């Protein structure tokens, strides 16, 4: 992950970000949060009350409507800038413009809520979206379970090229099955990585190319 920029008279003209979407959220989340505050400041004053309980004269929050959360908006924008694997390269000036535009019309992306209603609103959403843990029948052989999508070299090396192995990812409640040959062809970046050669490679976020191997329940 890195930032770069072209400069003229020591003034940055074209700042860019290169890294994964997860990296972007780590390093740019504060900036995006502050941008939302600026975008919603006038709208919050205009509404002037909690849109749920009607309370006035108290501190109000600008809450993203469920399904249009800040991270969801960021991810939708950044997916257009994927260059290879999960690596994005984005001009930050372009991102800023798209991020602001994605909040318009503002009444369709933002709710004005008091602190109590904001916490309640987010808590209900988190409970609703939490996946129920499904029970899967474990194959007799080559079944692995990890919190993230993880490839362990020692286990995969034991397999023949046509042997199929299954990985259950507990964090996302998803199961993936592929042959060793599929793994070598699709995840050649993993096979050639230093991390995998040392023992294992895990994804902080499941890459889109893995979903061709998703086991549908």
Q: What is the pTM of this model?
A: 0.55
Examine the domain organization and report whether 72 and 7 are in the same domain. Answer: yes
- Is residue 108 situated within a structural domain? yes
Residue from 30, 161, 50 nearest 115 by CA: 50
pLDDT value of position 126: 57
- Is residue 171 situated within a structural domain? yes
Q: What Cα–Cα distance (Å) separates residue 45 from each residue in 14, 140, 162, 165?
A: 34, 62, 63, 56
Q: What sign for the dihedral angle of Cα 215, 78, 64, 27?
A: positive
- Is residue 134 situated within a structural domain? no
Examine the domain organization and report whether 54 and 118 are in the same domain. Answer: yes
Examine the domain organization and report whether 123 and 154 are in the same domain. Answer: no
Q: Is 182 exposed, middle or buried (0-12, 13-18, 19+ CB in 10 A)?
A: middle
Structural domain count of the chain: 2
Pairing of strands 143-146, 164-169: parallel
Domain boundary pick from 85, 101, 129: 129
Examine the domain organization and report whether 113 and 12 are in the same domain. Answer: yes
Q: How high is the mean pLDDT in each 10-residue block of the chain (217 residues)?
A: 54 80 88 91 94 92 90 92 87 94 95 90 63 47 90 94 92 91 95 94 92 83
- Is residue 58 situated within a structural domain? yes
pLDDT value of position 3: 54
- Beta strand ranges found along the chain (DSSP E): 2-4, 7-8, 11-12, 16-19, 60-64, 82-84, 87-91, 110-114, 143-146, 149-152, 164-169, 174-179, 200-203
By three-state DSSP, how is residue 182 classified?
helix
Examine the domain organization and report whether 175 and 103 are in the same domain. Answer: no
pLDDT value of position 187: 96
The residue segments making up the domain with residue 86 are 2-129
pLDDT value of position 11: 53
Residue from 20, 18, 23 nearest 89 by CA: 18
């Amino acid at each position: 992950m890195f930032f770069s920029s072209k400069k003229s008279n020591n003034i940055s003209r074209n700042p860019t970000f290169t890294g994964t979407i997860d990296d972007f959220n780590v390093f740019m989340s504060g900036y995006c949060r502050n941008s939302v505050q600026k975008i919603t400041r006038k709208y919050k004053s205009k509404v002037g009350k909690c849109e749920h309980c009607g309370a006035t004269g108290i501190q109000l929050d600008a809450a993203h409507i469920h399904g249009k959360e800040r991270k969801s908006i960021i991810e939708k924008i950044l997916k257009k800038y994927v260059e290879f694997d999960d690596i994005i390269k984005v001009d930050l000036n372009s991102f800023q413009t798209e991020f602001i535009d994605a909040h318009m019309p503002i009444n369709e992306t933002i709710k004005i809520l008091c602190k109590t209603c904001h916490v309640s609103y987010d808590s209900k959403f988190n409970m609703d979206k939490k996946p129920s843990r499904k029970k899967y029948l474990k194959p007799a052989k080559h079944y692995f379970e990890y919190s993230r999508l993880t490839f362990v070299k020692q286990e995969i090396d034991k397999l023949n090229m046509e042997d199929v192995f299954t990985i259950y990812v507990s964090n996302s409640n998803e199961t993936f099955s592929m042959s060793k040959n599929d793994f070598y062809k699709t995840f050649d970046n993993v096979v050639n990585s230093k991390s995998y050669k040392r023992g294992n490679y895990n994804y902080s976020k499941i890459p889109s190319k893995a979903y061709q191997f998703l086991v549908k329940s």
